[in-house]
Chains A and B, each alone.
Chain A
Amino acid sequence: KAGVTQTPRYLIKTRGQQVTLSCSPISGHRSVSWYQQTPGQGLQFLFEYFSETQRNKGNFPGRFSGRQFSNSRSEMNVSTLELGDSALYLCASSLDWTGAGNTIYFGEGSWLTVV
């Protein structure tokens, strides 16, 4: 059974640009969550999607957005990139929505560097 797949794995962008990251969850999983990981702040929750609807949102500005498709694949977008957006972006999938207490399984992440 394939794990959570994220693309691209590494990317470099310039300040002011926008970026789209993609996540394919484990087959059969309907919930996808996104996290930002930095050395200083650790893992911070961005948002969760379940059945194509955003169920939950963290404390990030509106520049961060996402969506989920009918096949449960998800994308997140960051517009008007800032230097501080440089981080590892992790996608995690679970069988059901997070509140049900299901284990979340992480992908390898997308390393974003903003220059």
Chain B
Amino acid sequence: GQNIDQPTEMTATEGAIVQINCTYQTSGFNGLFWYQQHAGEAPTFLSYNVLDGLEEKGRFSSFLSRSKGYSYLLLKELQMKDSASYLCAVLMNRDDKIIFGKGTRLHILP
């Protein structure tokens, strides 16, 4: 079966750095997405990794290791508006489906 694991909740302090991990075991792999979802709102796209390595986009970076089935999202200089759920999702090449993890709810403390 398909399995995507990420921590349920995390807490961090404003101005700090936080790393949200995601591990996956899926039937085939094409790439991995990260989405941000504020309470009551639609998920919004953050990043898409296909190749191993780190991709930086402003305060947010995403890392992928295909051999380890592992990704992380790194958020720097945390702001209160970063309080949200972060969803890890895998695009499977066997059947072209995108499978989402249950999300990590991130709380930012002042």
Number of residues of chain B lying within 8 A (CB) of chain A? 24
In the complex, the answer to whether A101 meets B97 with C-beta atoms within 8 Å is no
In the complex, the answer to whether A106 meets B44 with C-beta atoms within 8 Å is yes
Q: Is A112 an interface residue (CB 8 A)?
A: no
**Closest CB in chain B relative to A99 CB, distance in Å:** 3
In the complex, the answer to whether B91 meets A99 with C-beta atoms within 8 Å is yes
**Closest CB in chain B relative to A96 CB, distance in Å:** 11
Knowing that A90-B42, A99-B30 are A-B contacts, what are 8 other residue pairs whose CB atoms are under 8 Å apart, sorted by A's residue number? A42-B103, A45-B98, A45-B99, A58-B97, A101-B50, A101-B91, A104-B33, A108-B42
Given A42-B102, A98-B97, also A106-B48 (CB < 8 A): no
> In the complex the two chains form, what is the Cα distance from A103 to B42 in whole Å?
14
**Closest CB in chain B relative to A82 CB, distance in Å:** 22
Q: Is A55 an interface residue (CB 8 A)?
A: yes
With a cutoff of 8 Å between Cβ atoms, the chain B residues found around residue A4 in the complex are: 42
Given A41-B102, A42-B103, A43-B87, also A97-B96 (CB < 8 A): yes
Seen from chain B, the residues whose Cβ lies within 8 Å of a Cβ on chain A are: 30-31, 33, 35, 41-45, 48, 50, 87, 89, 91, 93, 95-103
**Closest CB in chain B relative to A109 CB, distance in Å:** 6
Number of residues of chain A lying within 8 A (CB) of chain B? 24
In the complex, the answer to whether A108 meets B102 with C-beta atoms within 8 Å is no
> In the complex the two chains form, what is the Cα distance from A23 to B59 in whole Å?
32
Identity of the chain B residue whose Cβ is nearest the Cβ of A6 in the assembled complex: B42
With a cutoff of 8 Å between Cβ atoms, the chain B residues found around residue A103 in the complex are: 33, 45, 48
**Closest CB in chain B relative to A76 CB, distance in Å:** 16
